[in-house]
Amino acid sequence: MLRCFLPRAVGAFYWSLLSVVPLHAQFPRVTYEVQAGSVLEDTCIKCERRDIEYHLRGTFVLERLAVKIKGFAYSISDVKLTCVGLSGECQLEVTGEGSHYRPDLENQSTELTLNINGRDGIVLKSEAVRAEAAWPAFDTSLGEDRSQDPISVFTLRLVAAPRVEQTDYELVPGDPTDESGSFLEVVCPVCRPADPRVPLGGSFKVGLIESVENGFSVYSLSAIEWRGLLVPPRTQYSMVGSGTYEEGGGSAPMKQMRLTLEVNSSPWSIFRGGPVSVLPGEAFPLIVMDVEEELRETRWYRLHLVARPSTPRKFRRADSNTDAKVDLADAVFTLNSLFVGGAGPACLDAADADASGKLDLTDVVVTLGFLFLGGPAPGPATCGIALEARLGCANYGVCGPG
């Protein structure tokens, strides 16, 4: 019997070692930035003071562990959080470390051991729950189990994304005369809002945090500052927050968006849109999306968003595939983008050959007319910035010669 037991015991010990001994692969340490929507709440169960709510900013480091287990395990280190507020109004310092586990792409659990304002050993946990944000973004809620201190309890909502290079974006302002651009819609089945459809404007930042070949690209949306464009005394609206945008899927591209927004200083709300098909002429870097507030009671909001890069970039007009020259390949690239589900132009201004402020079949006609029929050269013909209607230009690279 001992002979039967020993091989099994040795085998079990061997496989247990494989589950914790690092493999040859080394994974990078990724710095995350805490985004709008992150809140630490200090609740006192048996005292008269009001709950304290800290709006957070800061960073932490996530590193995948090279261990042989089902799913993916990560260490969380260098947690450094403080609160958003004017000097002297907000006193908070949070440090710590922890772990994050994803048994699959849909679920996650997180545990943090924190020092909060000098109070050490505060453990916050989340059970295995469905991941809300598109990986590698974070949106998770953690809490104490009250065994450490049954009177004072901390809860944490953590919204974060990897630190990446970001592009400044702007909303195309809503125009009530032709219903173009961005709008906020107030939905109230039991009442009549004074301004049910409000034109929007504002800015935010977009950064690529994950890209999978023939799959979805995931973008972080941060520093959202949107506002209604109605003139007082009509209803005023302001929105701040963060979120994610996904687009991709090969020959039949799809897109979806998730936002965490504070509307007129109300509690944070989740807005979702999609997945829906990417229509011709609406591929990234242009963002066209309808999202709706997730929690719908007697009154809620819908958003129609049309956004484009706001940073002026130098480019060559009609160079749709951004290879620093204008040739037949550019016309083919635009046609594929418009009608075959091909990748969208990285620089929409360059693809807009007729400088009309929109991407359509006319741009292909103008390009072919210039190349083969002696038509006028689209300008700027060398290295320039759009002087006409602008669609935006997320990336162009090096401008080629004329």
186 and 289 both lie in a single domain? yes
Whether 15 is covered by a domain: the verdict is no
Q: Cα 84 to chain center, whole Å?
A: 20
- Of the pLDDT bands very low, low, confident and very high (cuts 50, 70, 90), residue 6 is very low
Q: Is 210 helix (H, G, I), strand (E, B) or coil?
A: strand
Q: How many domains does the chain have?
A: 3
CATH for 190: 2.40.128
Average model confidence (pLDDT) for the chain? 85
Whether 194 is covered by a domain: the verdict is yes
Q: Which residues are CB-contacts of 396 (< 8 A; sequence separation ≥ 6)?
A: 313, 314, 315, 322, 346, 347, 350
Q: What is the pLDDT of residue 252?
A: 83
117 and 193 both lie in a single domain? no
Helical (H) or strand (E) element with 19: helix 2-20
Q: What is the pLDDT of residue 395?
A: 75
Share of the chain above pLDDT 90, in %: 53
Buried/exposed code over 152-183 (b: 16+ C-beta within 10 A; e: otherwise): bbbbbbbbbbbebebbebbbbebeeeeeebbb
Please tell me the least confidently modeled range out of 79-93, 111-125, 357-371: 79-93
Domain containing 325 equals: 312-402
From 272, 288, 309, give the residue that closes a domain: 309
Reported for 125-128, long-range contacts at CB under 8 A and 24+ positions apart, including other chains, are 128/103
Please report, for residues 171, 183, 233, 306, 378, the alpha-carbon distance to residue 201 in angstroms, rounded to integers and kept in the order given.
5, 8, 18, 10, 30
Q: What is the pLDDT of residue 349?
A: 85
90 and 151 both lie in a single domain? yes
Predicted confidence (pLDDT) per residue in 324-358, tens digit: 889 999 999 999 888 877 777 888 888 999 988 78
182 and 196 both lie in a single domain? yes
Predicted confidence (pLDDT) per residue in 114-169, tens digit: 999 999 999 999 988 888 888 999 999 999 987 766 677 999 999 999 999 898 99
Distance of alpha carbon 40 from alpha carbon 154, whole angstroms? 7
Q: Mean pLDDT over residues 384-394, rounded?
A: 71
Start-to-end CA span in the chain (Å):
85
Of residues 256 and 252, the one with the higher pLDDT is 256
User: Of how many residues is the chain composed?
Assistant: 402
Q: What is the pLDDT of residue 29?
A: 94
Burial of 151 per CB tally in 10 Å (0-12, 13-18, 19+) = exposed
125 and 232 both lie in a single domain? no
Distance of alpha carbon 139 from alpha carbon 134, whole angstroms? 9
Q: Is the pLDDT of residue 3 over 50?
A: no
Please tell me the least confidently modeled range out of 7-21, 79-93, 188-202: 7-21
**Please, what sign has the CA dihedral across residues 355, 356, 361, 366?**
negative
Whether 155 is covered by a domain: the verdict is yes
Half-sphere exposure of 195 (CA within 13 A, CB side): 16
Q: Is the pLDDT of residue 18 over 60?
A: no
CATH for 317: 1.10.1330
| Phi, psi dihedrals of residue 59, rounded to the nearest 5° | -145, 165
Whether 116 is covered by a domain: the verdict is yes
Distance of alpha carbon 303 from alpha carbon 289, whole angstroms? 8
122 and 177 both lie in a single domain? no
Q: What is the pLDDT of residue 106?
A: 86
Whether 17 is covered by a domain: the verdict is no
Question: Is residue 56 within 8 Å of residue 83, measured between CB atoms?
Answer: yes
Whether 11 is covered by a domain: the verdict is no
Distance of alpha carbon 350 from alpha carbon 3, whole angstroms? 75
30 and 64 both lie in a single domain? yes
Q: Is the pLDDT of residue 16 over 60?
A: no
Predicted confidence (pLDDT) per residue in 307-319, tens digit: 998 867 788 899 9
323 and 287 both lie in a single domain? no
Whether 10 is covered by a domain: the verdict is no
Q: How does strand 287-293 pair with strand 300-309?
A: antiparallel
Helix pair 328-335, 361-372: axis angle to 10 deg: 170
146 and 217 both lie in a single domain? no
Q: What is the pLDDT of residue 129?
A: 87
From 147, 162, 177, give the residue that closes a domain: 162
Q: What is the pLDDT of residue 315?
A: 87
146 and 63 both lie in a single domain? yes
Whether 71 is covered by a domain: the verdict is yes
Predicted confidence (pLDDT) per residue in 269-282, tens digit: 999 999 999 988 88
200 and 115 both lie in a single domain? no
Distance of alpha carbon 386 from alpha carbon 384, whole angstroms? 7
Predicted confidence (pLDDT) per residue in 50-72, tens digit: 888 999 999 999 999 998 888 99
Please report, for residues 20, 56, 99, the alpha-carbon distance to residue 62 in angstroms, rounded to integers and kept in the order given.
18, 18, 9
- Of the pLDDT bands very low, low, confident and very high (cuts 50, 70, 90), residue 369 is very high
Q: What is the pLDDT of residue 277?
A: 94
- Of the pLDDT bands very low, low, confident and very high (cuts 50, 70, 90), residue 89 is low
Predicted confidence (pLDDT) per residue in 174-224, tens digit: 999 999 999 999 999 999 988 999 999 999 999 999 887 657 899 999 999
28 and 155 both lie in a single domain? yes
Distance of alpha carbon 107 from alpha carbon 111, whole angstroms? 14
Distance of alpha carbon 67 from alpha carbon 77, whole angstroms? 17
- Of the pLDDT bands very low, low, confident and very high (cuts 50, 70, 90), residue 13 is very low
Omega before 309 within 30 of 0, i.e. cis = no
From 276, 309, 342, give the residue that closes a domain: 309
